[in-house]
Amino acid sequence: MTGDRTPEIEPNDPTRSGAPLPAGRGARLSRNEIEALCLKAARGAGMSWGLAEEAGFAAGWLSQRGLDGPGALLAQLRTAEARPWRDICPVIEPGAFRALPEGLLCPIALGAALCDCARLPDADMRAAPIGIGPVSQPLLLVPFLAEVARLRGAALRLGWPQGAVTIGPDGGVGGDLAALAAAERLEASLAAAPDAPAAPAAPAPEAGPPFVPHAILADLDAYALRTTVPASDASRAGAGGGESD
């Protein structure tokens, strides 16, 4: 390779994380494409298969509603990288899903724990709110709270000193979503809400799939590539059948 030429990419190269990234400002990806890329990125960042699948789900759910799920997940992968599990996994106690001292909860791990406990006394918030946090990238909690609301058949209110969002059992979300999306960490309370927000409007057909900026795509792809090996003579050696069919 010389000058400004880019390296040639083989079609369907099994050593890559996926299809070549589009050049330019970014791309419109379907929810399935977002979930697949984010799952691979989460795996490349060290998440277990189960949590990586949850991460892909959360990013796709948010993107489908016009929220920056891939960007929030990328920020979370950077925040949690190299942190021990005990620092990002919630400690469940009466009335609280808390981090250890100096810890910062992963919203994927916290969200999965809340879903697992949705019908248990640990998550009963009818008499008093549940304290959660501190948690990083709290926007990623919203898809899990929607699932908790669905399982309980009632709306939830995630509140913090500067604002609140309400999540309904049908997936409707209302309140200070912009403030939640801008927060890098949050301590909050989770309580039953008297009223559910309006159901989410169906996206206009002409709007097309969610747009993901190129910088976010490239960085997620870099994490995803950690699950593969570089293309080389060694990585190709022995690939395919040894004899003709």
Q: What is each CA distance from 154 to 40, 124, 178, 193, 195, in whole angstroms? A: 33, 12, 23, 7, 8
* Dihedral angle over CA of 94, 98, 101, 102, nearest 10: 180
With a cut of 60, say whether residue 177 has pLDDT above it.
yes
Residue pair 44/227 in contact by the 8 Å Cβ criterion: yes
Domain boundaries, the chain: 26-192
As to burial, measured by CB atoms within 10 angstroms (0-12 exposed, 13-18 middle, 19+ buried), residue 69 is: buried
Distance CA 135, CA 144 (A): 14
Q: What pLDDT does 62 receive? A: 95
Residue pair 155/196 in contact by the 8 Å Cβ criterion: yes
Q: Is 224 helix (H, G, I), strand (E, B) or coil?
A: helix
pTM, rounded to two decimals: 0.82
* CA–CA–CA angle 210, 212, 215 (5° rounding): 180
- What tens digit of pLDDT does each residue of 125-166 get? 878 899 999 999 999 999 999 999 999 999 999 999 999 999
Per-residue pLDDT band for 206 (boundaries 50, 70, 90) equals: low
